[in-house]
Amino acid sequence: MTQTFKDPVCDMDVTPESAAGKSEYNGQTYYFCSLGCKKAFDKEPEKYLGKANEHVHHH
């Protein structure tokens, strides 16, 4: 079974094989469904990672 990852920009499921691009940030690899999502992430990674972390902290 192929592992899937969430595109941090659009929340789409992406496999490393099907990813349009990937970026490394703080030692973590992120995969993207399109180059547009990759560019948006590369420009403002904290904007998208902060959004993801907010969901974890809600009680």
pLDDT, tens only, 1-42: 789 999 999 999 999 999 999 999 999 999 999 999 999 999
Task: Give the global pTM.
Answer: 0.80
Write phi, then psi, for 53 (nearest 5 degrees).
-70, -30
- Report residue 51's pLDDT band, with 50, 70 and 90 as the boundaries: low
pLDDT tops 80 at residue 52: no
Domain regions of the chain by residue span: 5-57
- Across 4-59, where does the E strand assignment appear? 5-6, 13-14, 21-25, 28-32
By the 8 A CB rule, do 53 and 6 touch? no
Distance, first Cα to last Cα, the chain: 32
Sign of the torsion angle spanned by Cα atoms 8, 38, 33, 3: negative
